[in-house]
Each structure stands twice: as structure tokens, then as C-alpha cells.
Structure 1
Amino acid sequence: MHLRPNLAPSSPARRPRALRAVAIAVFATMAAGLTACSSSDDNSSSSSGSGGGGTFPAKVATKFGDVTVKEQPKRVVALGWGDAETALALGVRPVGQSDWLAFGGDGVGPWAKGLYKKSPQKIGTLEPEYEKIAALKPDLILDTKSSGDQKRYNTLSKIAPTIGVPKGGDQYKTSWEKQTRMVSSALGIADKGKSLISKTEKKFEKAKAAHPEFKGKSIVLGSRTSVGYGAYVHGTGRMDFVERLGFKSSPAIEAKAGSAFSVTVSRENLDLLDADLTVMSPIGLTAKKISGDPLYRAVPSVKAGRDVVFDDETLSSAFATDSVLSVGYALDKVVPVFSDTLKNPKPLKD
């Protein structure tokens, strides 16, 4: 079983056999005139700061082919992991969104606090609630970081133009850069997206220059759930984050990597978590379940005091979300923790 980040997607997400029936029900409901929020909703993009100054028609390349957005979207639904935060960073407030990490409230992390005027309608994650989406009468659906499932895309695209995952973006591997580029293009504000990307890249460069101790160091980014341990692989948001800082993914973990975004690490092989720096996130359990585990404590890097176990859910979530907003927060809050651990390791006492 593959690792699941904080209420994260399975890999790949499984679709119910009744998907076709759900789609039919969606379209029948739409035809019957489902009641939805009016276009004057506080979260409509016409009042969000994007105004009517976008460039249209806008064309976005996806795994499923090019998608053309003919005019300024006024009712955006954001379903993919981090899509809502990306839209918010660009000044557009979705009328509906999925809350992948169960933040509650507006469904976004503290780095996006206060960006909504009105809380969006919450939509399911692994299996979107198609009737609910249809009821919102969207004119654009964002799903750039999801399973990349064809049936999911087909159903959504019959409701509204849908920006699905990019080529190579299956299994939730869409980077925050690609996500920002795709979302900003779909919203007709590609230049604003480029500016956001440039500012964030400069922040990474500044952090990398300030921490030469990261260069060439191997790192394992892992987690423990109720079903066991796992580690993330190259090509995922978490690994992209640390690789930009100069770290390299553990060769032992990469040797086990397949097409999924993580690999399972059995209790008998926890030494696979060994690296110059080991970083672990508890998912659905306490940090003590990791740090107090005798087998985990026996991992060489852990014994040497070169490990980080997130006991702050906000830090863990910032690291997991990998949106253009959350990575900036993580650079400010997480990087100093990594640096202190490498510079001042605290070996375990027998």
C-alpha cells in the first residue's frame, strides 16, 4: 500500500463502478435547473481582483489535450491539490474547492488566511461530488494536481471546461510551478503567474545560498500512517522542494521508486530511511509514534540525531501542500529546522 499524505490521495485513486451513473445523474440534475449561487457571489472572479483584464481565448495544454477557455471565468471550482490556493494567489476566489488536508474553515492553510471574502462550497477530494459541482454552475474547473484519471476528467469536462493534469502529471506529481503556470494561463493572467513563479524561485535561490550545508546531502522524506512507513520519491512536490535547496534524494529510496509518488518501507527495512537528513511526518497519529518507535530510533541517522519528526501540523501541511503560497511559508519556517538539525545534531542516548 502506498503512502498517503495527510488525507491525501491514494495512488492511483480508484473510481467507483457507478461513475457513469453518477455522471448521468449530474447531467439530469443540471437539465432540471439545479439552484446555484448567483454570479454576483462574493467569490466570483469578476469581483476577485482579476477583473476583466485577462487575455482570452486562453489555451492550456494538458494530458487530455489542449483546453480552450474562451472568456473570463466568473465561477471557478478548484478541485486539485493546491489549485484553490494557486487561484487565490492570483487574485481569484473559487466558489467551490476541495480541502485535501482537512484544514476546515475556508479549506486552505494559514498562508492563505483571509484571501476569501466568503467561504467556498466544499467538494470531495478523491471522488468529487459531481452533483454539487454542477449545482455551482462553474465556467471553469481546475484539477491540475489530482489522479489524472480519464473518467474523472471526462465527467468534469462535461460540466465545464476542465484544466486537468499536465503531461507527466499523473499521481499528484504536478509541481507548484506547472500548477501556477496552468492556472494563471486558464485565468487569462499568465504574466501574473510568471511573476509569482519568479518571486518564489528567487526566494529558493536566496535560501539555498544561505545554507551551503545542504549541498549534496542525501535526504529521506518519509511518513508513518496507521498502516506503516513510507518515503516520497523524486518528482513529487516534497522532493522538489528539498532538491532546489541542494539536497539529493536517497539513492536507496530511488532504487525502489516506481510510477507512484511514494514507496512502502517495511518495519524490517527501516534502515532505508537512513540519510544525511531524515525527515518524517506523522499522518493520522502522533509524532511520538515515530520518535518513540525502537526500530525507528535504531536507524543510523536517527541515532546520530540527524532527523526531524514534524510535531507541528502546520509545518507538515505547508511542506505537503506544495502550492505557490505554501512553499514560501515552508521556506521561512521549515528550512531553519533542517539547518539546525544538520549543524547541531543531538545523538540519542542509549
Structure 2
Amino acid sequence: MSPTRFLRRAALRSCAAAVAGVLLLSACGDGGDDDAKAKAASDTTRQITDAQGREVKVPSAPKKVVALSEPTLDASLALGVEPVGATAGRGQRDMSTYLKDKAGTAQVVATVAEADMEKLAALRPDLILLDETTGAKRTVDKLQEIAPTVVTAKLNEDWKKAFTDTADALNKKSAAQKWLKDFDARITDTKKKLGDNAGKSVSVIRWQDGAPSVVGKGDGVVASTLKALGMTRPADQRGASAGHSEPVSLEKLDTIDGDWLFFGTLGDKADGEKAYAGARKATNFGRLKAERDQHVVVIEGSAWNSAGGPLSADVVLNGLRAALAT
């Protein structure tokens, strides 16, 4: 082969390689930039200060979140984050019934009392969220050895602040603020439609083991929503709560009475209906004004009895609106 022909072929091969390279880069560029940006975000971290004053480096775009409390699970789901690990609902073996359908394939790795460290670690999370409503708050140092751990709220924290602080840990604070703006607009609209029910007294109780317990006192989701709507509470349901719930003896059944009585259990509405059927057989239950006026409303108790969060607040508002708004 002559030197001229050899050089010509070499030049052609070089051009072909260059064209192929350009095409390859072009193909990679079709969505490749977005993939690169997503990977870059998942590989970067942000530093935040949690509710305990701890400085924690968290992923900018967490992919495998574990939520060890009802409020952090509730908030994550409200923001479109489906955790890989979650907590069981209060008094339940599985997630709270009002959250379970939204939680997808999340595995239960904790209860209100404690977290199962072995199950949690097996999920290989990149972010762990909890607050002081759960016993896992005592094991933050051990949790931190598994993944960055953020305590989002103190005990009895205002639920809206707890929500936005959880959102901050997830790098979704603006989405939380929009959610709250929409919620407040619905509060305003509902209040305008209360009609004759404006300012009426509302009792909220959980029926368990044949007797009631008062729930929703203090500044949680139930009390704050009722207050925002301008509703009142029976005398024994005002002020801060001594605990998550306060048992009431059947001898003092009249203390739970109100213009309206919202009635539930720790389970779903169907469980509440069964409990209501039993409560109606209790001595003096039929004498309650709310019962006589057919103003007893059976509720999705798992949401009304939860430690709070945006989705539980939504359930509470929807229940009040359906019963009271005209």
C-alpha cells in the first residue's frame, strides 16, 4: 500500500472515530445532564441544627428515609417522601390506619416505645427522622452510627413548626410552607360556613375498654384546629393535657358532653363504629345531649389520636367540616 493511500485511510478512521464520539456525547446528553445533577445532589450534604441543638450533616436529596415517629412519618408522606422504614401507630402493630395506604412498602421498624436497631440498620438508610414523641429519642447516639439522625421537634411542639422543621431536614421547606398556606385557607373557608354551629362546644374522646378518655387537649392538631375554627370545648377538655389522653370514669360521663361529640378509638372508623355501638349500652350515655341530638360523630380515630402532623390535621379538618359546615 502506498504511503498516500495509508495516510488517507488513517484520516478517514480518525474522522469516523470523532463523529462516533460526538454522537455518543449527544446521546449521553439526552437526559444525561439531569441524571448527573440528580447524582450530584444525592452525593452532597447540608448542615442543619436539630431540635436538640445538634449540628447534623444530612443528604441534600435523601433517598432512603426512616421515620421513627408518627409526626415525622406523617410529614414525610405529606411532602411526597415515601420512607423505607416507619413506626407503628400508637397502640397498633402496624402503621396508623390513616397513613398505611400512603406509606407503600415501608417496613415497620419501631413503636412509640423504641426502635428495632437491627431491622433499621438492615434498611441501610441515608437519613433517620424522629422527634421527642417517641422513646427512640433516648438512642439518638446509636441511631447516628447508622445514618445521619435528626430530632425534628421537642415534646409538645407546635405541629406546624414541627412540620416545617421536618421538611427542612428533607430539603422541602418551601413545599411545607405552601401546604400550610393551603390548609389555613381551608380553615378560613370552613369557619365562614359553620352557620348555627359557630362557637358550639365540641368534645373529642377515645372509647377504650368500655370507658372514654379525653384526647386532643393542649396545642396539638385537634385543639389548634378547633381553636382556629372558633369552637369551644367542655370545661374538662380545656388547657394542657396531663398525658396523651385522660381517662374518664363512667360515673363522670356527663363531663364529656358537648353540643357535638367526636367519638373514636385508636383504630379506623369501622373500629370506632363498633365501639360506639358498645358505648350506647353504657349507663347514662343516652342522657348525653350530643347523643340525644344525634350529634355524635364517629371519626378516623388513628388520625385524631396521633401525635400530630399535616395529614392528621387534614383528617381532623375534613371531619369537622363534614359535620359542622353548612
Q: Does 2:183 align with 1:191?
A: no
Q: SS state of the match for residue 261, structure 1?
A: coil
Q: Give deviations 1:134-185, integer Å, cap 9, x for gaps.
A: 2222221111362366524444344333222523xx2xx4454223201110
Structure 2 Cα separation of the partners of residues 97 and 50 of structure 1: 25
Equivalence for 2:133: 146
Aligned residues with identical type, % of pairs: 22
For residues 160 and 143 of structure 2, the distance between their equivalents in structure 1, rounded to whole angstroms, comes to 23
Q: Which residue of 286, 301, 304 maps to 1:316? A: 301
The 10-residue stretch of structure 1 (49-58 or 246-255) with the greater mean CA deviation from structure 2: 49-58
- List structure 1 segments (4+ residues) > 6 angstroms apart after TM superposition: none
Distance in 2 between residues matched to 1:217 and 1:333, nearest whole Å: 15
Question: With structure 1 as the length reference, what TM-score do the two structures score?
Answer: 0.68
Q: Structure 1: how far apart are the matches of 2:261 and 2:78?
A: 31
Structure 1 unaligned segments of length 5 or more: list them: 1-45, 341-350
Structure 1 vs Structure 2 CA RMSD = 3.3
Is the contact between residue 144 and residue 182 of structure 1 (CA under 8 Å) also seen in structure 2? no
What residue is the counterpart of 1:161 in the other structure? Answer: 148
Corresponding residue SS for 1:224: strand
Matching of residue 291 in structure 1 with residue 277 in structure 2: no
| 2:109 counterpart residue number | 123
Instruction: Spell out, residue by residue over 1:50-107, the C-alpha distance to the aligned partner (whole angstroms, 9 max, x if none).
Output: 9939995242441x22442343223210111142232122232211111316596xx4
Aligned to 1:78: 67
Aligned to 2:192: 209
Instruction: Measure the CA separation in 2 of the matches of 1:197 and 1:228.
Output: 35
Amino acid at match of 1:331: L
Q: Does residue 302 of structure 1 match 2:287?
A: no
Q: Which of the residues 331, 334, 343 maps onto 2:317?
A: 331
In the TM superposition, what are the counterparts of 1:1-350 in structure 2 within 5 Å? Answer: 52=41, 57-62=46-51, 64-72=52-60, 73-100=62-89, 102=92, 107=95, 113=101, 116=104, 119-126=105-112, 127-144=114-131, 146-147=133-134, 150-164=137-151, 166-167=153-154, 170=155, 173-226=156-209, 228-232=211-215, 233-254=217-238, 257-283=240-266, 286-310=275-299, 315-321=300-306, 322-339=308-325
Q: Structure 2 vs 1, CA of residues 180 and 58 (structure 1 numbering), >3 Å: closer, same or farther? A: farther
AA aligned opposite 2:275 = T
Larger radius of gyration: 2
Q: Which TM-score applies when normalising by structure 2?
A: 0.72
Alignment length (residue pairs): 279
Q: 5+ residue gaps in structure 2?
A: 1-34
Whether the aligned pair in 2 keeps the contact of 1:96 and 1:133 (CA below 8 Å) is yes
Deviation, structure 1 residue 270: 1.0
The 1:100/1:282 distance shift into structure 2, 3 A limit, reads closer
